[in-house]
């Protein structure tokens, strides 16, 4: 697992904050955020709106993701528990996109 170093920024950028705030404004309050470590690339903050929409924000690391969640009003830290999973609504277009080339088979 990648560890954050002293050189890893821990404060989210204005663009990252604006993206998360925009998601909450568009998809409802309160929205949920699951911070996932993605190794050397940093962390992914998966956003889940009460309307079932999903989005994400990539950040430098887990600590930065946690800071982002804390700084955005009406964004609650969450885990992939049954309540969060049940909230997500994945449509057919998203399923095809995730399937990639196999979608045509």
Q: What is the pLDDT of residues 85-101, one digit of tens each?
A: 999 998 887 778 778 77
Q: What is the pLDDT of residues 8-35, one digit of tens each?
A: 678 999 999 999 999 999 999 999 999 9
Q: Indicate the domain borders of the chain.
A: 14-99
Q: Report how far Cα 26 is from the mean position of its chain's Cα atoms.
A: 15
If phi > 0 it is left, if psi is from -120 to 50 it is alpha, else beta; for residue 81 that is beta
| 66 contacts 35 by C-beta, under 8 angstroms | yes
If phi > 0 it is left, if psi is from -120 to 50 it is alpha, else beta; for residue 100 that is left
Global pTM value: 0.83
Q: What is the mean pLDDT of residues 81-87?
A: 95
Q: How many CA atoms lie within 13 A of 45 on its CB side?
A: 30
């Amino acid at each position: 697992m990648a560890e954050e170093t002293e050189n890893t920024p821990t404060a989210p950028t204005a663009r990252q904050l604006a993206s998360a705030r925009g998601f909450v404004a568009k998809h409802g309050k309160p929205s949920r955020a699951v911070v996932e470590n993605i190794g050397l690339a940093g962390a992914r903050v998966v956003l889940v709106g009460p309307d079932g929409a999903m989005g994400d924000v990539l950040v430098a690391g887990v600590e930065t993701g946690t800071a982002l969640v804390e700084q955005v009003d009406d964004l609650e830290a969450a885990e992939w528990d049954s309540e969060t999973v049940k909230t997500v609504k994945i449509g057919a277009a998203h399923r095809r996109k995730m399937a990639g080339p196999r979608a045509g088979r």
